[in-house]
Structure 1
Amino acid sequence: MTYECFTLEIADRIAHIRFNRPEKANSMIPAFWRELPEAVRDISDNARARVIVISSEGKHFTAGMDISVFMQGGLARGDNREIDAEAFRHKIAALQETFSALEDARMPVLAAVQGGAIGAGVDLVTACDCRYASADAFFCVQETAIGMTADVGAFPRLAKIIPEGWARQMAYAAERVPADKAKEIGLVNAVFDTPEALLDGVMEIAGRIAAHSPLAVAGCKAMFNYARDHSTASALDYVAVWNAGMLRAEDIREAYLARSEKRAPRFDDLKPVSRTP
């Protein structure tokens, strides 16, 4: 399938989503908000890959939400202001689901950021499992600078990734956080010298993830997401229940056998799942 806002290539069990509107700084036009969750859910539901990598073409990762989304979204208020507001709330919820699809994917999602991750770009990368940057990258909660409060995911996620004081400063001041500072505060895992080195490095990490048991990796992601939002006691209970039901002896046996035979292990992929009854 072809997409208007990005290309999708699946090779070596890695799905690579690459934003391909560099002439528009990869701004998120209305089609983007439909296409991205559709692509991610297809990869996840049908187990088409073991890892998802998101990168971009051009100078910037993304300039964030395109103004056309606002024009279609009905920011204007008419005589029925309260009724308009109620409808607009549902539009925001639909936009939020675009990035929640990344968090809900069964496999890890890695973001490779070059240039700016601006506005909704921060919301996007905070929904990913891991973030990496080139030396020229920067991150900016731009919404404050244009008179609005970011509403598609930054606030519930950013302060769980970086110190709350830095999350607040980023939001209140709409300041650009460069790649080196982003690494210092834990927003990104690593900084690479060039965009080319960035993509090579992230693909190498993705390859290492893809080499492991997809079931074990999916379990890790489920546990991290659950533990983030629940007490330690609840998270311990959940991982015990998970392993009681889904610990796979065949994968453990294959991991040890492959190591002893000095070869790459061979694991079964996850099975497709259906969203319909």
Structure 2
Amino acid sequence: MTMTDLQAFDVETDDHGVTTVTLIGPGRGNAMGPEFWTELPALFARLGTDPGTRAIVLTGTGSCFSVGLDLKRVAEPEFLPAVRDRAMAADRLTLLQRLRQLQAAMTAVADCRKPVLAAIHGWCLGGGVDLAACVDVRYCSADAVFSIREARVAIVADAGSLQRLPAIIGDGALRELALTGKDIDAARALQIGLVNEVLPDRDAVLRRAVDTAREMAANPQFVLHGIKDVLAQQSASAVAGGLNYVTAWNAAFLPSHDLAEAVVALGERRPPVFSDN
């Protein structure tokens, strides 16, 4: 993979060693389709060992950070098997393995030895929150909206929000967001500690993230790696265990009539009518 081959990201590095990784789709709202899940782990593995990269800023192009999973594309059987049909053990095992590949893509960001910051504007939904939970520092613009939305499309969130956010926002706030699937604004995100600071607009939040990344980039790289490694040990086993558990759960229960209804309703631009089945 070369930087020019990427379909889901644009990558630029400045003279301070700060690499800005911009989500560019190709789905509307920087939706996370197959390209995203394939390219993300390879990209962060490369940046993690790139001597020219000393810190990383993640942001989104257009009107938002990311609307999350591209449900219609990812739900196709060739990408997520057993989503639509009643599956036997072999198919569920294939689904389990695919879900763990998706988790590994996000974990590549969390495990990156370089500092990673997120500059969030507009919508940050579902997988967008999963991605934000993987970084070290989060800033957002005043128009940012966050939602752990998976419950509203008949999915138990399985890409890391349920495992990583307790250490960031606490158990109570996480349960409120995950069980309701509600939207929260930038002020509420700041109040619960989901973001470090709220800036007026996208340009301001990106400047703040880049400025902070440059401060980090000026420090010795082995020290930054050590700080991240030490901090990660506090929750590493709980996160890993939780990720494994939720893939087993979803391999068993993700295929449902309600998920199929959610996909259809999305295409028809209407609220889903769930049957608890």
Q: Shorter-normalised TM-score: what interval?
A: 0.7 to 0.9
1:47 matched to 2:51? The reply is yes
Contact 1:22 1:57 (8 Å CA) reproduced: no
Check whether the contact 1:23–1:58 (CA below 8 A) recurs between aligned residues.
no
Larger relative contact order (CA 8 Å, sep ≥ 6):
2
Shift of 1:48: 3.3
**Quick one: which of 40, 51, 60 aligns to 1:36?**
40
Letter in 2 for 1:76: R
Does 1:77 pair with 2:81? no
Deviations 1:161-192 (A, max 9, x none): 11211100100000112111111111100000
Do the aligned residues in 1 keep the contact of 2:119 with 2:205 (CA within 8 Å)?
yes
CA distance in structure 1 between the partners assigned to 2:51 and 2:123 by the alignment = 31
Query: Size of the alignment, in residue pairs?
Result: 230
Q: How does 1:60-139 map to 2 (within 5 A)?
A: 60-66=64-70, 67-71=72-76, 72-74=79-81, 75-78=83-86, 80-139=87-146
Q: Work out whether 1:161 is the aligned partner of 2:168.
A: yes
Alignment of 1:9-24 (within 5 A): 9-11=12-14, 12-21=16-25, 24=28
Q: Secondary structure of 2:75's partner?
A: helix
Q: State the AA in 2 paired with 1:32.
A: F
CA root-mean-square deviation: 1.6
Letter in 2 for 1:167: L
CA distance in 1, matches of 2:184, 2:232: 25
Who is 1:152 aligned against?
Answer: 159
Give the SS at the match of 1:73: coil
Query: Deviations for 1:209-251, whole angstroms, at most 9, x for unmatched residues?
Result: 11111111111111111133479xxxxxxxxxxxxxxxxxxxx
Q: TM-score, normalised by structure 1?
A: 0.80
Contact 2:34 2:74 in 1 (8 A): yes
CA distance in 1, matches of 2:135, 2:145: 16
Q: TM-score, normalised by structure 2?
A: 0.80
Identity %: 31
CA apart distance, 1:82: 2.5
**Aligned residue in 2 for 1:185:** 192
Gaps of 5+ in 2: 239-277
Task: Give a deviation string over 1:18-56, Cα, whole Å, max 9, x none.
Answer: 112387000011011111111111011233311110001
Structure 1, unaligned runs of 5 or more: 232-277
Looking at CA atoms only, which structure, 1 or 2, has the larger radius of gyration? 1
- Could you say what secondary structure the match of 2:59 adopts? strand
Cα distance in 2, alignment partners of residues 220 and 41 from structure 1: 19
Partner-residue secondary structure (3-state), 2:10: strand
